[in-house]
Amino acid sequence: MNKRREFLKQASLLAAAGTLTSVSSLVKAATVVTYGGSTWLGHYSAYVAMKTGMLSKLGIDCRWQSFSTSSARMGAVMAGNVDIAVTGVVSALALMANGAKQFELISTPNNFGKAEGLLVHDDVKSIKDLKGKKIGVTYASSSHVLLLDVLKQAQMDPVRDVSIINLPATELLAAYRGNQIDAAVAWTPTFDRIKALPNTKLLLDDSSFSLFKTYQITPGPDVLLVRRAFASAHSDVPKNFLRGISQANELMTHSPEDAAKILVELTGLPLPEQLAIVKQTQWYTLDQQRALFVQKGGQPGSFVEGMQKLSEMLVSLKEIDQAPKVQDWVQSSYL
């Protein structure tokens, strides 16, 4: 009987040790991911997923690294210092046009088309009314692409018919308020702050972009990308990261107040302003992201086709030298 008790005791100890080993293995299994972010809304999904523990439950130890510009973030990806990041697609296309193969595009997490647009005084009824006016915009940005495109649609010359003033996004509000410019093309939060000024209205947003109706693509949509070498070494991580992004998007869609409380830690915005940004942005589900990237049968989705058209437009606008074959950088298998 004593031998039986001793055997059971030893078995219990071994079982406990096995459990501890199993737990230890789970902890060790968490893969460190260096994420390249900023306070821009394109990074909200990753931040919420990280702060709520959604990513850690998926075996990802997300290490946040902030960058003030897209070029700095993409430089870190190219150097191998960032594993996963969101960036405006124009920055990615510029590198792709130069043949950079260090990364692949795996998703688009959101649509911020209602948070960017052309803001004017109340007396302006159409784009034609801006003839001879000064329009402030940040060069080489999605807002700049939007402006050039809508001027072209209106058959207006961006050099002869209007004066386009290159201003950093942070200076657009002061320039507009001080009447140094007659109109501004901006993205949130500057967009919302200018729109709130007296005698100001939104003339058009990203839905007026020529590629939007056909391809559901804005002038500079956000794309989620992964460094190829990292994905090759950790093939399960991009897929799990996308699951975390999708969970965060569900939270922002259905419980925006809860998400906004988390995000003010990142952005420093007043809670009402933060909540408004979350609410006016479309946060794609995983199924929506998949449909945008790949059609049934494996053909490129509308978003991928739109990126190709956008790259060709950027060539015509002299923003990049040549249009890359976008599909060569798209990896939809993680979706």
DSSP state at residue 30 = P
Please write the tens of the pLDDT for every residue from 293-315.
999 888 999 999 999 999 999 99
Beta-carbon count within 10 A of 146 CB: 27
Question: Could you say which of 181, 215, 249 is where a domain stops?
Answer: 215
Please write the tens of the pLDDT for every residue from 114-162.
999 999 999 999 999 999 999 999 998 999 999 999 999 999 999 999 9
Q: For residue 86, is it within any domain?
A: yes
- 317 with 271, same domain? yes
Backbone angles phi, psi at 182, to 5 degrees: -95, -20
Backbone angles phi, psi at 268, to 5 degrees: 75, 10
Q: How many structural domains does the chain have?
A: 2
Question: Could you say which of 194, 215, 236 is where a domain stops?
Answer: 215
Owning domain of residue 313: 29-111+221-329
> CATH no. for residue 187?
3.40.190.10
Residues 135/166, Cβ–Cβ less than 8 Å: no
Residues 6+ apart with CB under 8 A from 39: 66, 266, 267, 268
Q: How confident is the model at residue 106 (pLDDT cuts 50, 70, 90)?
A: very high
Please write the tens of the pLDDT for every residue from 19-31.
444 444 444 579 9
- 226 with 272, same domain? yes
Which of helix, strand or coil describes residue 61?
strand
**Model pLDDT, residue 9:** 53
At which residue do the structure tokens 């990237």 appear?
A: 293
Please write the tens of the pLDDT for every residue from 30-65.
999 999 999 999 999 999 999 999 999 999 999 999
- 251 with 264, same domain? yes
Q: For residue 8, is it within any domain?
A: no
- 118 with 90, same domain? no
The backbone region for 268, taken as left when phi is positive above 0, alpha when psi lies in -120 to 50, beta otherwise, is left
The answer on pLDDT for 13 being more than 70 is no
What distances in angstroms separate CA 328 from CA 160, 211, 265, 267, one per listed residue?
38, 21, 37, 34
**Model pLDDT, residue 21:** 45
Where does 89-173 show beta strands of DSSP type E? Answer: 103-107, 110-111, 116-121, 134-137, 163-166
Q: Could you give the CA distance from residue 23 to residue 222 in angstroms, rounded to a whole number?
A: 37
- 48 with 173, same domain? no
- 300 with 233, same domain? yes
Question: Could you say which of 215, 239, 265 is where a domain stops?
Answer: 215
Length, in residues, of the chain: 335
- 256 with 178, same domain? no
Tell me which amino acid residue 282 is. Q
